[in-house]
Structure 1
Amino acid sequence: MTKEITFEKALEELEKIVEQLESGDLPLEKSLELFETGVKLSRSCRERLANAERRIELLSRDGDGGLTAVEIGQDEL
């Protein structure tokens, strides 16, 4: 992937790929191509989520206005 896309667009594309692969109607070569693209999109999404978690942890403030580390799980994003 040479062009950066938003997290939301990457996730949408990944969902479409999963639907196509699950249909079982694709030739082997097309399935492999889609699988490879899906792996790249999945990695990109995971990296972006990890970066978002780090940013949230760094930017969270406590009641006194000071910075405090707050653990944010993937299911909370």
Structure 2
Amino acid sequence: MSERLICRLKDVRTERGWTQAELAERVGVSRKTINTVENGVFVPSTVLALKLAAAFDLRVEDLFGLEGA
């Protein structure tokens, strides 16, 4: 069974009215890193996923999931 990462990062970020640069600054990464995560080019590390969730005051599962799991 093939699994695919579901990423709600862009949806949540735009709902909050934050730019990629603003989110990147909050979690201590580059804007390009945020862009590549949002576009499915890069799967975030556990540490980055936790930082992203904390920035939004959400659980990691609210931002990321597995399709087909």
Q: Which structure has the highest helix share of the two? A: 1
Structure number with higher relative contact order (C-alpha < 8 Å, ≥ 6 residues apart): 2
Q: TM-score, normalised by structure 1?
A: 0.26
Q: TM-score, normalised by structure 2?
A: 0.27
Q: Which structure has the highest strand share of the two? A: 2
Larger Rg: 1
